[in-house]
């Protein structure tokens, strides 16, 4: 896990590659609470929900959807070799699937936050110890570049017009993971600081694949 400061020379794992997230909104300070199952961060009981409808105290429940909640400017990496070993599936190809990803519905903005200004980019990166294999921004695969040993998304910030907002729109991820991939990394970035940019990967799961090109 990496909390805050997602800008330049961020290592995806202890022995993973370096990544520069500046052009997709990386940066920002650490937040209180790390990524969590079924809530938007580890110190909160606020569940995750992705219906696009306004959330109120009246329809609050302790469990709404399965998935991963992340505050802005956080990075979470899974060691795929450990997962394959635990499942007794050495050398298996997989897919990382997310049914709906975006800004969490199940939040009631406080006076100092403005949910209508929330803006986030959600990234999924597949990598080995030596190189980044693929990257997806808000559900769409993007090109990667490498300079001085540091990988980055090959796009300008102005081109990311599809940045996710609290407008009821969500995206899906379907990410192929080849057998030689070592790491799966989820990243959240924002542009506007603390503007209620609580991100959700709802219905997130790994599925076995017969083959991945």
Tell me the pLDDT of the chain (213 aa) as tens digits: 888 788 889 999 999 999 999 888 888 777 877 888 888 878 777 888 888 777 776 666 666 889 999 988 899 999 999 999 998 988 899 999 999 999 888 766 555 556 777 788 999 999 999 999 999 999 999 999 999 999 999 876 555 556 888 888 899 999 999 999 999 999 998 865 556 678 899 999 999 986 444
State the pTM of this model.
0.90
Provide the CATH number for the domain around residue 196: 2.60.120.1060
For the residues of 102-148, what is the DSSP string, one character each?
EE-SS----TT--GGG-EEEEEEEEE-SS-EEEEEETTEEE-EEEET
Tally of domains in the chain: 1
Beta-sheet pairing, 150-153 with 18-20: parallel
- Separation in Å, CA 153 to CA 19, 92, 204: 9, 27, 22
Domain that holds residue 21: 2-209
Q: How far apart are CA 91 and CA 105, in angstroms?
A: 38
- Separation in Å, CA 205 to CA 86, 110, 167, 183: 16, 31, 25, 15
175 and 39 in contact (C-beta within 8 Å)?
no
């Amino acid at each position: 896990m990496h909390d805050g400061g997602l800008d330049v020379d961020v290592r995806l794992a202890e022995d993973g590659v370096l990544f520069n997230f500046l052009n997709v909104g990386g940066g920002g300070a650490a937040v209180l609470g790390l990524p969590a199952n079924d809530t938007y961060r580890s110190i909160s009981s606020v569940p995750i929900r992705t219906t696009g409808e306004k959330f109120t105290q009246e329809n609050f429940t302790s469990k709404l959807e399965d998935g991963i909640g992340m505050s802005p400017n956080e990075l979470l990496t899974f060691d795929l070799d450990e997962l394959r070993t635990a499942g007794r599936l050495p050398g298996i190809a997989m897919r990382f699937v997310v049914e709906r990803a975006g800004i969490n519905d199940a939040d009631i903005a406080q006076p100092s936050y403005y949910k209508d200004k929330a803006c986030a980019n959600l990234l999924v990166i597949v990598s080995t110890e030596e190189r980044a294999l693929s990257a997806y921004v808000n559900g769409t695969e993007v090109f990667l570049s490498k300079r001085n040993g540091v990988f980055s998304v090959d796009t300008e910030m102005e081109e990311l017009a599809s940045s996710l907002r609290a407008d009821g729109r969500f995206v899906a991820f379907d990410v192929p993971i080849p057998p030689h991939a070592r790491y799966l990394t989820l990243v959240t970035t924002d542009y506007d600081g603390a503007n209620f940019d609580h991100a959700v990967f709802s219905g997130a799961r790994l599925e076995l694949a017969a083959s991945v090109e």
